[in-house]
């Protein structure tokens, strides 16, 4: 890879400054991060490939990997630091996405509780009218099913958040050891 290829990957011209490179990289990372496509495996795989190319281009432009580095171990160290930074950024993005999903599931849980309460009230008020009692019973059952599903989803998301926190701590410890 040469400078022009790396700049093209980031969508920049030949006269780009270091600040332009950094800004373009951050924008591209936000657009192409594989976690944004978690719902579609094919898109996630493509985004992963593009993300790797983007990371390689940014590493090349930032460290000048193509030119002879004064110290080979320094180059390897800077590459591993940028890789660790990318991993930490990916974990932060995944954590943010999971937090948003958890908030949405909290809303689903609240809606399930409201549905159950409306069903109970409807069953009490309309106990003598069979079709109202039937609808109220359906609301109660639907609310219970939704509540159980939401609680399971919250539990799963919380488990994933714990895993991300553990991975982040491990990466930070490894990064500190490498310094």
Q: Is the pTM of this model over 0.75?
A: no
At residue 21, the pLDDT reads 86
Q: What distance, in Å, lies between the first and last C-alpha atoms of the chain?
A: 28
Residue 80 confidence (pLDDT): 46
> For each of the chain's 179 residues, which pLDDT tens digit applies?
777 788 888 888 878 888 888 888 888 887 777 777 777 777 778 778 888 888 888 888 887 754 334 444 444 444 445 666 777 777 788 888 889 899 999 999 999 999 999 999 999 998 888 899 899 999 999 999 999 999 999 999 999 999 989 988 888 887 777 66
CA distance 11 to 21: 9
Query: Measured between alpha carbons, how far is 162 from 159 in angstroms, rounded to an integer?
Result: 5
| Residue carrying the six token digits 């996405």 | 97
**Mean pLDDT score across all residues of the chain:** 81
Task: Identify the pLDDT of residue 71.
Answer: 46
The predicted-structure confidence for 57-109, as pLDDT tens digits, reads as follows 888 888 775 433 444 444 444 444 566 677 777 778 888 888 989 999 999 99
140: Cα within 13 Å, side-chain hemisphere? 12
pLDDT at 155: 94
60 touches 66 (CB < 8 A): yes
At residue 83, the pLDDT reads: 66
For 61, counting Cβ atoms within 10 Å of its Cβ (0-12 exposed, 13-18 middle, 19+ buried), the class is buried
Please state, in angstroms and rounded to a whole number, the distance separating the CA atoms of residues 83 and 60.
12
Q: Hey, what are 31's tokens?
A: 């657009």
Residue 88's nearest CA partner among 61, 55, 111 is: 55
């Amino acid at each position: 890879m040469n400078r022009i290829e790396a700049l093209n990957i980031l969508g920049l011209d030949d006269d780009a400054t270091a600040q332009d490179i950094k800004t373009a990289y951050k924008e591209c990372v936000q657009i192409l991060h594989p976690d944004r496509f978690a719902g579609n495996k094919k898109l996630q795989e493509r985004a992963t490939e593009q993300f790797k190319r983007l990371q390689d281009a940014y590493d090349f432009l930032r460290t000048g990997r193509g030119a002879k580095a004064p110290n080979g171990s320094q180059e390897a160290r800077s590459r591993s630091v940028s890789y660790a930074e990318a991993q930490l950024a990916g974990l932060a993005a995944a954590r943010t996405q999971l937090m948003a999903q958890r908030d949405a599931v909290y809303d689903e849980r609240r809606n399930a509780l409201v549905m159950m309460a409306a069903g109970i009230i409807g069953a009490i008020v309309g106990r003598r009218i069979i079709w109202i009692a039937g609808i109220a019973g359906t609301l109660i059952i639907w609310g219970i099913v939704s509540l159980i599903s939401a609680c399971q989803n919250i539990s799963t998301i919380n488990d994933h958040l714990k895993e991300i926190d553990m991975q982040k701590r491990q990466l930070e410890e490894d990064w500190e050891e490498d310094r």
